[in-house]
A and B are shown apart, each in its own frame.
Chain A
Amino acid sequence: MAELVIEDLVVTFGHRHRAFNAVDGVSLTVPHGTIVGLVGESGSGKSTVARTVAGLQRATSGRITLDGDDLLRTRGVDRRRRARDVQMIFQDPYSSLNPRMTVGETIEEALTTHGDLDGRRRAASVRELLDLVRLKPAVAGQYPSQISGGMRQRVAIARCLAVRPRLIVADEITSALDASVQGAVLNLIRDLQRELELSMIFITHNLAAVRYIADTTVVMSRGRVVEHGDSEEIVANPRQPYTRALVSAIPRIEHAGTDHLLRFADEEGLR
């Protein structure tokens, strides 16, 4: 795995007088073998950063390097080499898998694009990868519509691991899943990260999840980084007012049966 450095990244959408910077001078580092959490409200630019790192979105200015290799250079770069640099896992496992390919074919696709294994070795690799994401080998013959959302997200993770990328970008990979399944996917990511020493950007709006899974956390608002630091520390002692607002807005089971919300309504002048 490798170290990702983003320096002063700017991504502009729209033209001339309607132009606005979705990402406005973001700098951050993902050290080798760590998970960096990226949190913020919708529209804060998290996903744009992710898509730019993954090469799905053009940067307007700034630098992104992976162990010194320029990721923003697109000319004369081998498509497959680029694929081994960064892979992305998407939010919605219902739409990120080709409905016309079986689970096995989906994973094989990644394997064949990156190395010419023969049929038997490929089948063995598929089994290994499925095992890695805690799925039974029989799943290989099924279509995405035949398995549950949590299983689909595991398939997407296996497909990404098949390429052995140097950096993984995970964009809200648990938010389309049920609460009881989210935990299993978070556990899986954490175990895999330890086993394979993955470097990862983990994007979410769920502060509890980011605190659990990320080593360091970056808080974004309106295209800028407002705070970054140790994940546990940021949640326990947020320094910026924006982060404090985010943390205090998280609904908590401890508030069960209290008038916490009514008090908040009073404070905010919601009458």
Chain B
Amino acid sequence: MTNRRSGPPKRRSGPPRQPMAIIAVCMLGVLVLLAVFAPVLWGEEAVAADPDAIALPPSGEHPLGTDKLGRDILLRTLVATRLSLVMAVAATLMGGCIGLALGALPAVLGTRAQRWFASVISTWLAFPVLLVAMLTVILLGPGTTTAVVALALTMTPSFARLAQTLSSRVGGSEYLAAARMLGVSRRRQFTRYVLPNIAEPVIVNVTTSIGGGLLALSSLSFLGVGVQPPDFDWGRLLSEGFGQVYNSPVAAIGPGVAVVFAGLAFSMLGESLAAQLRNREHGRALPPRRLGPAPVAERPARTPAETERAETEAAPLLDVDGLSVSFPGPDGWIRPVQDVSFRILPGEIVGVVGESGSGKSVTMMSIAQLAPAGAAVTARRLRFDGEDLTGRTPAEAGRVLGTRVGVVFQDSLTALNPALRVGTQLAEIPRVHGGAGRAKAHEMAVRALDDVRIPDAARRAQQFPHEFSGGMRQRALIAMSQIGSPSLIIADEPTTALDVTVQRRVLALLRRECAESGAAAIVVSHDVAVLAELCGRLLVMYAGRIVEDVDIALLATPERLAHPYTRALAASLPDLGTDRTKPLVTIPGEPPDLSRPVTGCAFAARCAFATDDCRTEVPVLTEHRHGGRVACRHPQDAMATDAAPGREEVGA
């Protein structure tokens, strides 16, 4: 990480804290001071010829010596700061503005204008830079203005291309469509919608380019087509210095150092601006030293009753106990998954439901040893088919799982490699893990596709993912998860993007596959009804914890569900029998922000049955009389009339 912070974490925005930014700002400060004051202080001295001091080597009086007319080179270099900077900034700004107009305006002008502008920009880009510069010089004659214009013209197309790329994203956005529909004028669309959304990267790019611009202008002056005497910039001084390089080699060094210094200042400033933007986009995280060790589930190991049950029960295929997943955040660990414990028996289909961000995907990916980079996964116990996975690296644990766990990802388009034929991707698994030969593996791939009812499987195996429809890709993914004959399938939202009819086919396939092969499955969804049809048991997640673990059949009789959140979830879904005259049942409020520690029950703020102790202590997931487990102080199932002691007195 580039940022090191001193002192306690404070607000996130504010002045840049990276050392590079500080150095760049200081260097820039020096340059600006020189540009403003040097000509005032030493302007006359720098141009006054002194016949007694012609071409002197460095001395105490003239640290960099004097030139052919006896003028002090150091002073001249300092005085030249103003012209050099003004030219570079002017040229870059000019190029930036023209580029921005060319690249970004079309976003609000319609498709025909876009095409026209795009071809102008590419033609312009194709022109050699030197040719553009030379043509400008020929047309305008050498001079300061010429140099600036020439530079601006060569910079314009690359700014335009950048602005075009950025603004085409805005141009296709729904918020711009909404503005258009509101009747917002084109000018306002441009200034309020397009510009602010592309400004930051453009500013970074322009800043960085000033440094390059400075170099380019110096070369133009050096070559004699830029600044003309008696004016002088660093490039001019360089070329004069080179003229006397034999009797005073230092003469060229002063202006040279100045050019490099200023170029570096702008490049560094641009870089640190860019770093600042990146940090803001991805959120800044505390360095490991300040984060401390990854959080672990604090609950003690199992109660004796649970241990007894664990021993009498059939050996689980998957046994997860005290699983926590944390990410480094700006103010410490963010804990999207906390103390999750559950078991899956062989052949069982278990559903996981919960709101977006409740930690479903992170839990499943961590179990499959595919947790995102940066995640800290801890567990008291994580056993698959009798083998302990805790204490191994994800790569080792992944090898233990091998083909015994098949994963279906949430997004079918990104889960398949777009550059490989579908059949080749499927065949990869038996080839790598099963040691099958090429022909054998391909045959297996085609059979797997045929198994999930992809018509004409042999031909389809030769196609690329984008040639499949969404439903077919999803089926191909299921085929892929099946091909190693896994004993556990983990499916994250396998049908969310699909139409109902396709969804039902995919669900039926999954169900059939499990019934036939005896594989177990964990299926994640935010739609309880989907899980009701598919699964035997339901895990309900809220704010990173399992709040209820219940037989799926109880969903059909919601009054027998125990946790207030599960009950609200089951009641809030409109179905084909909902009373149209009444408002739908909803859950008021929002889920908590997991980047801050949550004390007590995370659902308390939205729960109608919350009491004071709910808000202070985390309810533990324990066995419940409905045969499953619940984490709630006041379970609401019908038999639990005694379960909310003193609710009236304490109040909500």
Known pairs A56-B177, A211-B580, A232-B580; A253 contacts B183 (CB<8 A): no
Closest Cβ–Cβ distance, residue A150 to chain B (whole Å): 8
Tell yes or no: A48 within 8 A of B by CB: no
Q: Is the CB of B580 within 8 A of A256?
A: no
Q: Is the CB of A251 within 8 A of B504?
A: yes
Q: Is the CB of A251 within 8 A of B503?
A: yes
Mark each residue of chain B from 564 to 583: 1 if its CB lies under 8 Å from any CB of chain A, else 0.
Answer: 00001110111110101001
The secondary structure that dominates the A interface is helix
Tell yes or no: A141 within 8 A of B by CB: no
Q: Is the CB of B553 within 8 A of A101?
A: no
Mark each residue of chain A from 153 to 194: 1 if its CB lies under 8 Å from any CB of chain B, else 0.
Answer: 000100100010000000000000011111110110011000
Q: Chain B residue with minimal CB distance to A40?
A: B499
What is the bound-complex CA distance between A96 and B180, given in angstroms?
A: 12
- Number of interface residues, chain A, beta carbon within 8 A: 70
What residues of chain B lie closer than 8 Å to A240, measured between beta carbons? Answer: none
What residues of chain A lie closer than 8 Å to B178, measured between beta carbons? Answer: 88, 90, 96-97, 156, 159
Set A86, A252, A264: member contacting B529, Cβ < 8 A: A252
Closest Cβ–Cβ distance, residue B621 to chain A (whole Å): 21
Tell yes or no: B356 within 8 A of A by CB: yes
Tell yes or no: A60 within 8 A of B by CB: no
Interface hub of B179, B503, B530 (most chain A Cβ within 10 A):
B179
Tell yes or no: B182 within 8 A of A by CB: yes
Known pairs A92-B174, A98-B197; A163 contacts B587 (CB<8 A): no
Q: Is the CB of B528 within 8 A of A253?
A: yes
Tell yes or no: B411 within 8 A of A by CB: no
In chain B, positions 544-572 with a C-beta closer than 8 Å to chain A are 551-556, 568-570, 572
Tell yes or no: B131 within 8 A of A by CB: no
Closest Cβ–Cβ distance, residue B451 to chain A (whole Å): 8
Q: Is the CB of A180 within 8 A of B580?
A: no
Mark each residue of chain A from 53 to 73: 1 if its CB lies under 8 Å from any CB of chain B, else 0.
Answer: 011100000000000000000
Q: Chain B residue with minimal CB distance to A147?
A: B590
What is the bound-complex CA distance between A101 and B173, given in angstroms?
A: 15
What residues of chain A lie closer than 8 Å to B173, measured between beta carbons? Answer: 95
Set A99, A149, A249: member contacting B501, Cβ < 8 A: A249
Closest Cβ–Cβ distance, residue B20 to chain A (whole Å): 27
Mark each residue of chain B from 516 to 540: 1 if its CB lies under 8 Å from any CB of chain A, else 0.
Answer: 1000000000111110111010000
Q: Is the CB of A253 within 8 A of B572?
A: no
What residues of chain A lie closer than 8 Å to B527, measured between beta carbons? Answer: 179, 251
Known pairs A208-B578, A251-B527, A270-B508; A96 contacts B533 (CB<8 A): no
Tell yes or no: B181 within 8 A of A by CB: yes
Tell yes or no: A138 within 8 A of B by CB: no
What residues of chain B lie closer than 8 Å to A178, measured between beta carbons? Answer: 355-356, 526
What residues of chain B lie closer than 8 Å to A92, measured between beta carbons? Answer: 174
Mark each residue of chain A from 218 to 244: 1 if its CB lies under 8 Å from any CB of chain B, else 0.
Answer: 000000000000001001100000000
User: Other CB < 8 Å A-B pairs besides A211-B580, A212-B584, A270-B505, 6 of them?
Assistant: A83-B183, A87-B182, A96-B177, A205-B500, A251-B503, A256-B553
